[in-house]
Structure 1
């Protein structure tokens, strides 16, 4: 399994890598090849205050490369100049990556220049699954917000085709997932389907195919708020969501739920684009 690991070369990103929680979880799902990518924006020039890493990004990448290599991964490093999300997407497609990984600073992605607009734009344009890993605030005792990335996976579903794409990605996490929670947020005004029965069918499928426990829950209210509340209730470590839309339309059709969970939540989030958009 091949991944693109996008890094802004910050102390926070390096701390998350060195925590080993990320490395162990990636190894557990079968990752063997890591492509470390950093992008220097076109408007950044050497010599600007705070941009020492950008002036010698390849050297700065070496420390993170050594961490991955010492854990047994095959590693390549890539330094590019341009628009970050476009270059990250380009590397992922050219390398035929199975996943893109980016870091996010806790509850406030906008506090981090890389995770702010870059992660939102990658989420809107990527044709590969995107893992947003939450990095803990500087004052925290640990480097990442949730250890053991895929230990407990929450899968919200509205029973759409896009949600099914996300659900069908679950077997990829087989080596690390120990529990799955299935959630449907009911719209009391328009919904009449038997959500609990459909969730029970999905739970049986998880238990049959993955041989792990699957719980179900139906909530009612604002989808984003209820997803975040369910993350806390079950102790989920990653929330698995489908996205919708392709190419230019992705910017409009990502879906406010997926984007808002990334922006407002405090959990790791794995976004799976439509099957038709992924180049397998």
Structure 2
């Protein structure tokens, strides 16, 4: 969690050859948030697979060729450091070798990052499920807050705000308490539109007589959900945000959040991590995991 008394944000930005990673860096550098960011530009070079021939393991490309690629990545990062460095509070570079997702997570821990900013390469949700992606891997496995940045074209006038219209999904998770702090840390423009959304999960498969029995209980849950959102509202309004609260009902919480964000042309979805175990995430999924995989806009997973 970010420290309220620390105006600086230690920010690890994942960089690769894809346009989205450079767009994420560009957007961060042009925002009002830039001067508060202590940045590490991080790249992971995948190591070549090894082949065993006569009990001898050999990489599929010569070591000097691989070393040359590592040096090329270093050179490209230095160029980015020179181009963007002055816009940030500080800017350093780091190159690692190995698995891209694991490498970025390990570098974020060494850098003691407050958050990780990573561009999404824009695979379809189906491709991300089948093949995985670095952004999906990092967002769901890191213990740090992650921003998966996806540029969204809007008709709004450009501003110094990193985002112009935000959905905050309130789920009664412990991480919900940190959501307003992160909205403050993002330094959004005054009067930025912020939608507080809580989705009550419905169960249409239940028989009618069972639904009638739980009707009174659901009214209590509905009342508690409103109180939860309204308790968050003052913290956001104190930041100058234009806050709207909405209570939704749906059999699929993640899909309801996405549909709401699309209907209201939001360019950021902020959601607290439910802190499920890895096994629970794989077997059952989670709202944050669903949102990261299926959203077309940027997603901030707060931890």
State the TM bucket, normalised to the shorter chain. Answer: 0.7 to 0.9
TM alignment of 1:114-263, pairs within 5 A: 116-135=132-151, 148-176=161-189, 178-189=192-203, 191-192=218-219, 193=221, 194=223, 195-207=225-237, 209-221=238-250, 222-245=252-275, 249-250=277-278, 252-253=280-281, 255-263=285-293
Structure 1 unaligned regions, length at least 5: 274-280
Deviation digits for residues 77-121 of structure 1, max 9, x if unmatched? 111101222221121112111111000134626769xx9432222
Residue 158 of structure 1 aligns to a residue whose secondary structure is coil
Task: Give distance in 2, aligned partners of 1:104 and 1:71.
Answer: 23
TM alignment of 1:31-46, pairs within 5 A: 31-43=36-48
- Runs of 4+ in structure 1 deviating by more than 6 angstroms, as ranges, are 109-112
- How many residues get paired? 255
Structure 2 unaligned regions, length at least 5: 1-8, 50-59, 204-213
Query: Is structure 2 residue 11 aligned with structure 1 residue 3?
Result: yes
Task: Give distance in 2, aligned partners of 1:202 and 1:217.
Answer: 13
Computing the radius of gyration from Cα coordinates, the structure with the larger value is: 2
Indicate how the Cα distance of structure 1 residues 77 and 265 shifts in structure 2: closer, same or farther if over 3 A, else same. Answer: same
Indicate how the Cα distance of structure 1 residues 97 and 214 shifts in structure 2: closer, same or farther if over 3 A, else same. Answer: same
Aligned to 1:277: none
Q: Using the TM superposition, give the Cα deviation of residue 244 of structure 1 relative to its aligned residue in structure 2, in angstroms.
A: 3.0
Task: Give distance in 2, aligned partners of 1:11 and 1:199.
Answer: 37
- The two structures, once aligned, show a CA RMSD in angstroms of 3.2
